[in-house]
Chain A
Amino acid sequence: MSSDPVAIFRQEAQDLLEQIEQGLLDLAGRPDDRDTVDAVFRALHTLKGSGAMFGFDALAAFTHHCESAFDRVRKGEVAATPDLVSAVLAAQDHMRALAEGREAPGAEGEALLARLRRAVDAAGAPGEAADAGPALTTWRIRFSLPADALANGTRPLPLLDELRDLGACQVTAVTDTIPSLDVLVPTECHLAWEVVLTTEHGRSAIEDVFIFVIDDMVLDIEALDAPAQDVEAAGGESAAIVSEAVETRAEPDGGDAKAARGGGETVRVPAERLDQLMDRVGELVIAQSRLKQLAAAGTEPLLRAVSEEIERLAAELRDTMMVVRMVPVGQLFGRFRRLIHDLARDTGKAIALTLEGEATELDKTVIERLADPLVHLIRNAADHGLETPEQRAAAGKPAAGTIALAARQSGAEVIITITDDGRGIDRARVRAKAEENGLITPDAVLNDQELLQLIFQPGFSTAQQVTSLSGRGVGMDVVKRTIEGLRGAIEVTSHIGEGSQIALRIPLTLAIIDGLLVRVGAARYVIPLAAVEECVELSLEQDLRSTGRSVITLRDRLVPFIRLRDLFATGTAPDPHQKVVIVATGQDRVGLVVDQILGDHQTVIKSLSRFHADVGTFSGATILGDGGVALILDVPHLVAAGQRHDAQLRAAG
């Protein structure tokens, strides 16, 4: 990781700005949410402070105004009106530019601040006086700061002073945790404080005192003699507020992701190092399977014991490594709320975004590579999918269109769907366009799915006119290529007048899969276990009977099969006990005839070189325990080929 302080600040600023943006978007929906107001205020405050520290003076000065505005919101002097929120949102873009050191004209900043001032003035009508009740409550407050608090610039005295400002105070220092003199580090803070405070203010006022340190400290607020009428301290049981408090509070949209980021202790590690670690783990898994073979061949019980131990450790290490690389998709989805906000403004359509399954986790690399395709698909849905409010009214739909983003795990895949309730895909237009572009011949017979998949062909666009939103060079073909690069697949469903759904099926990880090792002829191949439904024997009679048409009957269903021996032209005689491995993607299944099933195999996926990139049958290769190479079968490709072959036979017969 770069140790350049400016780079570190920029990273921090980016995180803060993201927090601010999420908070603001939350406020747009629920302007009274105190926690969110506080969170935005804190992030602004930190941004200002760090900015000034690292010499981003313009940023600090500019942020100061936003912070002041939010301070007034926090104090209940002004309400978080939509105007105010969107003024700060706009200002936030300016801050981003300043933080990244981009050219940001001062006039623009002035205009933004003027807008902010107007919004604050307009919102100035003081709202509810939150803690109006004059009833006096006595609280016992215990708090302690982390040991490095002093080194980090936190001073306990002003905190105590602020508490005193709230009412009559009795402060006791708790010295129980102070280590003996010989091990005491003088710069560390080991004192804790117990304060008995009698005040007319509520619990939230006390919490506010600690607003900037609450994440790292231990704070315990307890009402000593709560008067009966004081129900203001909602959930008045003595709640211990520790750093995890972030996770337990009422979750706004995208809350899962926020909690995952905010809670607990985290370490920033460059992704590159994770990749290196992943490579090492991959090599370890390969070496381990060699060791396992050696141990199995020998008669040394001790060696076998060690080998088993290492096998267990390697598997655990692999699993841990996988988890380390996983991040919730909420992190990705969160970015789209702003996109929708902007799209709604630019298209003049009312768009509601619903998110689902944000806690679903995916490999970090996968998440990053999904960002652009998803932006494109959402743009597409907003721009082409959703109708204008008038058209929607005419069709008897609610004025606001809905775009739903959902993620869920299904086996070893994560399925991400983008659903809109718009006009649906006009098949006739797709067809006309494809014919016009020479993608299909006018007499081509296509099923619905094939027709819909045409929108992913290079150079295809159904939009009659290209708007400023779509058509920025990335086409649907790029989306498809990216998804396929992730070994994923795209499915489209669409109903005229009801909307469309695009489902992205993404494998959980790119690096290691469980595979079924099979033999075809003399060569060994790996079939991803996640795609395998079952294995059945192909009897000699069945084999002979089915020469004309390659289908077997499996529980009253006809399943087409592919003889891999023929496909790979091995030139070998079939094994007397051939097996059919039934694999499936989605609804389609196909049988793969292999000579022998060798067993399961921890498959470290290595990609093939450019030379073999266009051999569609294989998605990669792996190194076996004996140092040999096995190719990994590309199941969706084979299933598609099998189905096509079957369809041709049906058409012919």
Chain B
Amino acid sequence: MSIAEAADTLQVLTFDLDGETFALDAGVVREVLDATAGTQVPGAPAFVDAVINFRGRIIPLADLRVAFGLDRRADNIDSRVVVIEYDLDGDATLIGLRTDKVHEVTEIAAGDLEAAPRVGMRWRSDFIRGLARREGDLIVLPDLDQIFLTRGGAVGAVVPLAPS
């Protein structure tokens, strides 16, 4: 990652969600798995409503589509789970993210990255870290900190986590 930063580029993994292209910092990605329904956790926020067995560890399965208000669809042959390792309240936590299709690891030049416009967006702008234009396509970089903090919007405003 330091090499990528030195060259002023960001290494990302791109994937599809309901026809939109998203990208995650490749540094946090641990593994890409075939899609699995996982085990439903009744009573959990819709954004993380399931858990899966990842190499003997039980990890939450999150769905960014909920955060962005996109349609959820049944898994198909292209569906994948991207496992990331992410700092959650100080704990390095493995989290699975549902995706429709995983494309590639690619580079985004820092210059191509722009902040999300405050207005005129389909989605909550605080959930977006930036937008990148690439070959006429728009890539969305989600702000995982905000999304995880609000449980994908389930707890409304951005407040520090506390048992309700």
Contacts and interface: CB of A to CB of B under 8 A. Distances in A.
Nearest to A522: B40
B44 interface: yes
B41 A615 contact: yes
Contacts, number: 72
A608 B39 contact: no
A47 interface: no
A565 B122 CA distance: 37
A442 interface: no
Interface in A570-626: 570, 606, 608-618, 621-623
B39 A609 contact: no
Contacts of A614: 163-164
Contacts of A612: 41, 44, 48, 51, 60
A283 B56 contact: yes
Interface in A100-127: none
B53 A611 contact: no
A483 interface: no
Given A618-B41, A627-B53, A628-B53, A610 B58 contact: no
Residue with the highest number of chain B CB atoms closer than 10 Å, among A286, A613, A615: A615
A568 B60 CA distance: 18
Nearest to B47: A611
Contact of B60 (A286, A570, A611, A618): A611
B40 A286 contact: no
Contact of A630 (B39, B91, B148, B163): B39
A615 B93 contact: no
A631 interface: yes
Interface string B15-49: 00000000000000000000000111111110010
A569 B42 contact: yes
B51 A629 contact: yes
Contacts of B84: none
Contacts of B57: 606
Given A612-B41, A612-B44, A631-B41, A621 B58 contact: yes
Contacts of B91: 610
B49 to A, nearest CB: 10
A608 B88 contact: no
Task: Give the bracket for the number of chain A residues in contact with chain B.
Answer: 20 to 34
B95 interface: yes
A623 B45 CA distance: 22
A523 B44 CA distance: 15
Residue with the highest number of chain A CB atoms closer than 10 Å, among B44, B52, B148: B44
Contacts of B43: 568, 615-617
A627 B34 CA distance: 15
Given A283-B56, A608-B51, A621-B51, A629 B62 contact: no
A567 B41 CA distance: 11
B42 A617 contact: yes
Contacts of B148: 611
B41 A623 contact: no
A617 B48 CA distance: 16
B151 interface: yes
B5 interface: no
Interface residues of B, number: 28
B143 interface: no
B110 interface: no
Nearest to B148: A611
A295 B93 CA distance: 35
Contacts of B131: none
Contacts of B45: 611
A411 to B, nearest CB: 26
B56 A523 contact: no
Contacts of A617: 42-43
Interface string A337-350: 00000000000000
B56 A286 contact: yes
B88 A609 contact: yes
B120 to A, nearest CB: 31
B104 interface: no
Nearest to A567: B42
B164 A523 contact: no
A610 B39 CA distance: 17
A623 B42 contact: no
Contacts of A623: 53, 56, 58
Given A612-B51, A623-B56, A628 B89 contact: no
A567 B151 CA distance: 22
Given A606-B58, A611-B62, A629 B88 contact: no
A631 B60 contact: no
A606 B40 CA distance: 16
24 contacts: A283-B56, A567-B42, A568-B40, A568-B42, A570-B42, A606-B57, A608-B60, A611-B44, A611-B45, A613-B163, A614-B164, A615-B41, A616-B43, A618-B41, A621-B51, A621-B58, A623-B53, A628-B39, A628-B53, A629-B38, A629-B51, A630-B39, A631-B39, A631-B51
Given A568-B42, A606-B57, 18 more contacts: A283-B56, A523-B40, A567-B42, A570-B42, A608-B58, A608-B60, A610-B89, A611-B88, A612-B41, A612-B44, A612-B60, A614-B164, A615-B42, A616-B43, A621-B51, A628-B53, A629-B39, A631-B51
Interface of B: 38-45, 48, 51-53, 56-60, 62, 88-89, 91, 93, 95, 148, 151, 161, 163-164
- Lowest 7 CB-CB distances: which A-B pairs, in order? A568-B42, A629-B39, A611-B48, A611-B60, A606-B58, A609-B60, A621-B58
